[in-house]
Amino acid sequence: MGMTITEKILAAHAGKAGVEPGEFVIAKVDVVMGNDGSTAGALPVWRQIGVERVFDPDRVVIVLDHFVPNKDIQAANLLAPVRKWARAQGIRHFFDEGRTGIAHIILPEQGLVGPGDLMVGGDSHSCTNGALGAFATGVGSTDLASVLALGEVWLKVPASQRFVYHGTPPRWVMGKDLILATIGRIGLDGARYQAMEFTGPTIAALSMSERLTMCNMAIEAGGKSGIIAPDEVTLAYVRGRAKRGFSCYASDPDARYAAIHEFDVSGLRPQVAKPFSPDNVGPVDEVAGTPLDQVFLGSCTNGKLEDLRIAAGILRGKKVHPDTRLIVIPASQWIYLQALREGLLEVFAEAGGAVSTPTCGACFGGHMGILGADEVCLSTTNRNFVGRMGHPTAKVYLANPAVAAASAVKGAIASPDEV
Amino acid sequence: MTGRVVGRAWTFGDDVNTDAITPGKYLTIRDPAQLAPHVMEGVDPEFARKAQPGDLLVAGKNFGCGSSRETAPAALKAFGLGCVIATSFARIFLRNAVNIGLPILECPAAVQGIRDGDTIEVDVTAGRIVNRTTEVTFEATPFPPFMQELMAAGGLVAFTRRRLGLD
């Protein structure tokens, strides 16, 4: 019986010839990531474990992303011990403000994770890294502390679901729409405990930026991981970035799947997830005209350079609607610099948008663009649960960057065809 | 994750997410005791005032979906909840709960057979749930042996210390 790409990566890291779904393994970790919040949470556990040094300072990546620049005294006091600990441990890949970005964007961009890696991160969206053909999954702070000490993690081998996409996406339809349509079909727990393997001709033609977006949102369907087998697109992205060697795995033709889903994307419209769940999905036309107080363009889902380029292409020479606020947050310092050099940030500022240095921003309701009672926001982020971005009565719609830009101009949810 | 618990059941629906259990605005608070007064605030702002330590939380499928924030199970534990019984748990929440020793049980039949306000008795170790209001007994789905061993070892800190040869 053949194995899936996920089973092959887990077997290789557990030192076994093969693994079965449901089996528990202790696997070696190539890269472990902690962000500001999860690392702060891991430090007391680290002290309880009572170990002196991390297993390998070059395989640990610490990214301050949720509360940078320090948003208040409490955040400053939360981050200070993390900064001190990272320096004391000799963590080379330590990203602080002015050199940082959102962890899930930094790791691929800086070549810190590569094909065939086993990566765990102290954030649920760590599954983003699966776009490179790695097994990547999110964990909590206690797990993080344990992995930092051991360099290994306990895992239940997940069954895989195969998602096959056919057809050429119409104009304005992006990776975000493919994954929203997928979550809309299978639901918030449709892939609970399972690996989501994205494949098919549509994926083969998709850029790394779009692939990262798709894998980013695997967790919104309950997925343990999202993964795309490495191909020429992956290798072109990884070459010149990878800080370590890598291995390319692919699923066997006779690999076992818990389910196989087929999608034809050729007639797909841009998708929108309506309040209050990422699986409450419909075409943009269904909610077009909904007035907006705020549009948020950014996050680990859609704050990448390509996302900013698409949005700037729509906003160039136009103004953000006077009743609507636009917040733009590039997802990394490198993206910020490139966007600056390309004149994209000027486009956003000229249009009347607020542009911030890289940070997670308003996505999780902690910083930069919190919503008040009854306010309505269209956001390129990944979650729109009650109270996620601020007040519990505020409503968040999720969409791609083109819909976000068009909606900012209209002051209401709009298809990019309309502007 | 051992022992016997008796308390009042507080029922919730499907897909209770981590933003509802511990909202993001509290993410700079790391002391679970300080978070406990806000627990479940996103679904029921009065919950922490109404519920008592030892009470039980009964929810539908995919409990704890969303963020990896360990503040969610940590705040439930710090509040002193006796047990969380759900049809199913989201993966990272389940992992975090096992790692830190928050008592949880998966039991779809019990979720069907418990109403808000019922008095529930749970033997967490055996996975036996008795609805004392209706006198109906349910058996929870046993966790796989590896997870049971992890829980019996005292959670992930003890497990890690053992792997490192510190104990």
The three-class DSSP label of residue A283 is strand
**Residue B57 CA to its chain's centroid (Å):** 7
Q: What interface predicted TM-score (ipTM) does this complex get?
A: 0.96
Put simply, the chain A residues between 355 and 414 with a CB less than 8 A from any chain B CB are 364-366, 370, 383, 385-388, 390, 392
Q: Mean pLDDT over residues A15-26, rounded?
A: 97
More confident residue, B157 or B25: B157
The pLDDT value given to residue B103: 94
Amino acid at A31: V
The pLDDT value given to residue A119: 98
For A219-230, write each residue's pLDDT tens digit: 999 999 999 999
**Are B24 and A364 a contacting pair at CB < 8 A?**
yes
Percentage above 90 pLDDT, chain A: 99
The pLDDT value given to residue A10: 98
The pLDDT value given to residue B88: 98
Q: Mean pLDDT over residues A20-35, rounded?
A: 98
The three-class DSSP label of residue A89 is coil
Chain A residues touching residue B144 (CB < 8 angstroms): 22, 24, 156
Angle in degrees, CA A286, A292, A295, rounded to 5: 105
User: Could you tell me if B82 and B121 are in contact, meaning their C-beta atoms sit under 8 angstroms apart?
Assistant: no
The pLDDT value given to residue B2: 57
In this model, does residue A168 exceed pLDDT 80? yes
Chain A residues touching residue B17 (CB < 8 angstroms): 383, 385
Taking one residue from A and the other from B, the number of pairs with CB-CB distance under 8 angstroms is 146
Structure tokens at A13: 């890291």
User: Could you tell me if A327 and A353 are in contact, meaning their C-beta atoms sit under 8 angstroms apart?
Assistant: yes
Measure B80 CA to nearest chain A CA, in Å. Answer: 19
Q: Mean pLDDT over residues B56-74, rounded?
A: 97
**Are A150 and B92 a contacting pair at CB < 8 A?**
no
For A309-366, write each residue's pLDDT tens digit: 999 999 999 999 999 999 999 999 999 999 999 999 999 999 999 999 999 999 999 8
Sheet holding A135-138: strands in order across? A93-95, A60-63, A31-35, A118-121, A135-138
Find all residues with CB under 8 Å of A335, minimum gap 6, and list them: A101, A105, A109, A303, A304, A305, A308, A358
User: Could you tell me if A173 and A285 are in contact, meaning their C-beta atoms sit under 8 angstroms apart?
Assistant: no
The three-class DSSP label of residue A100 is coil
Rounded Cα–Cα distance for residues A89 and A262 (Å): 47
**Are B166 and A122 a contacting pair at CB < 8 A?**
no
Chain A residues touching residue B73 (CB < 8 angstroms): 140
Q: What is the DSSP string of A38-49?
A: HHHHHHHHHHHH
What are the φ/ψ torsions at residue A115 (nearest 5 degrees)? -55, 140
In terms of DSSP bridges, do strands A24-28 and A294-297 run parallel, antiparallel, or are they unpaired? unpaired
**Are A150 and B25 a contacting pair at CB < 8 A?**
no
- Tell me the pLDDT of chain A averaged across its residues: 97
In this model, does residue B152 exceed pLDDT 90? no
Chain A residues touching residue B91 (CB < 8 angstroms): 192-193, 222, 224
More confident residue, A326 or B24: A326
The pLDDT value given to residue A271: 98
Q: Mean pLDDT over residues A130-145, rounded?
A: 98
Distances (CA, A) of A207 to A102, A131, A211, A313, B121: 19, 10, 6, 18, 54
In this model, does residue B1 exceed pLDDT 50? no
Rounded Cα–Cα distance for residues A117 and A5 (Å): 11
In this model, does residue B3 exceed pLDDT 80? no
In this model, does residue A132 exceed pLDDT 60? yes
In this model, does residue B62 exceed pLDDT 70? yes
Strand partners, A45: none
pTM of the entire structure?
Answer: 0.98
* Residue A1 banded pLDDT, cuts 50, 70, 90: confident
Question: CB burial class (10 A; 0-12, 13-18, 19+) of residue B165?
Answer: exposed
The pLDDT value given to residue A38: 97
Structure tokens at B38: 């806000």
